[in-house]
Structure formats: structure tokens, C-alpha cells
Amino acid sequence: MLRLSRIQKALWIAAILASFVFAILKSGLWSEETPPTIESADFLPQFSLPDSSGKLRDSEEFRGRWLLVFFGFTNCPDVCPTTLAEAAQVLDDLGPQAASVQPVFISIDPERDLALGIDDYTAAFHSQILGLAGSPTATQAAADSFRIYFSREDDENAPDGYTMSHSPGLFLVAPDGQWLRQFAYGTSATEILADLKERF
């Protein structure tokens, strides 16, 4: 009887251990993979795209300044103006220090934006914002290097029958060209300003 009870105990312990191991494996705690985080700078954000005059503007030329980059499209009535308005407010609040920040608007809808004109759009928000729109390939390459997503979505209720979905944040690149962080969509000008001032 005693023997049987020991076996039972052993089985119970084994069962409990097994369920623990299973739970740990299932939870991924033992996995060496850590989920990719957009804040980890194991990539180099780059772009090489023409401005409205057709001149190629490369991220390299802005070394020594902070880059504040936004990917958007000028047909966007809510997200893009809201974010650009915050960015413009940041530039105004920076005062003379704004000279060390280059805000860049990269069109993810270049064909339509080139037809509509990109400079009048960026200038409406702030004269300092540089608008870039290039080939689909160069646009995709820039987006990939920033690890951001955009996609054209067919939508019969949108102008020209399509709209764009996209990562709506503002992206901060250091004067040495390294990725620093993103300001998630909806981050206020006050918060962005405080972050920048700490870095200057």
C-alpha cells in the first residue's frame, strides 16, 4: 500500500512538473527571440528622394541636424494635418533652436501628390518642412529603412477610388543618422518639444 502511494505521489509530482514545463514553453519565456521593438535601433533610417524641384535629397546631407520625419499623403484630411500641425507647433516653440531640426514629409502616395503639388501643402503647415516625393521603389526603400508600413487600399468611397493606410508617427533621427525614436500618433507638441529639448 505504501509503495502504491509513493508511485502515486511520484506521478502527481511528474504531472505537475510537466504542466509547468509546458506552460513555460508555451508562454515563450524560454524562447531566445524577443519581439521586435520599433524603439531598438538595429537599423539605419535612410531616404533618397527628390524634392519638388527634382533635386535628389539624401538623408546623408542632413548629418549634424535632427531629422523629424513623417510619412503621409496630401489627400489625407485628418491624420496628416493633425500630425503636421503638431510638428509645426514644435518648430515654432523651438524658436532659434528650430534651425537644428529638419522636418521632412515623405509622400507615400507620390504619383498623386506630385500631380497635386507637395510644396504648397507642406508650406501651409510650416515653411521649414521639406516635402519629398519620388518613385515607388525609392519610397518603399525609405519606408523599409524606417521600418514603417504603408499600403494602398482600394476604396470606392475615397477620392480617385483609393486611400492609403500608413504608420502615422513622427520619427526622430539623430544628427549622426541613427534612429532615435518615434513619437506615436497623437503625441502632443508639448511632449515632443520636451523630448527634443532634453536632447539638445
Residue ranges that bind other proteins, judged by CB under 8 A: 38, 74-79, 81-82, 84-86, 88-89, 116-117, 120-121, 124-126, 149, 153, 155, 157-159, 163, 165-169, 184-186, 189
Q: Which three cell numbers stand for residue 110?
A: 507620390
**C-beta of residue 128 within 8 angstroms of C-beta of residue 153:** no
Least distance from other proteins to the Cβ atom of residue 129, Å: 10
Please report where in the chains the cell 529603412 appears, as a residue: 145
Q: Which is nearer to other proteins, 38 or 141 (CB)?
A: 38
Question: Residue 4: which residues within 8 A CB-CB, separation 6 or more?
Answer: none
Query: Using CA atoms, how far apart are residues 200 and 196, in angstroms rounded to an integer?
Result: 6
Least distance from other proteins to the Cβ atom of residue 19, Å: 32
Least distance from other proteins to the Cβ atom of residue 84, Å: 7
The SS3 assignment for 87 reads helix
Q: Which is nearer to other proteins, 46 or 89 (CB)?
A: 89
Q: Which is nearer to other proteins, 5 or 37 (CB)?
A: 37
Question: Amino acid letter at 107?
Answer: S
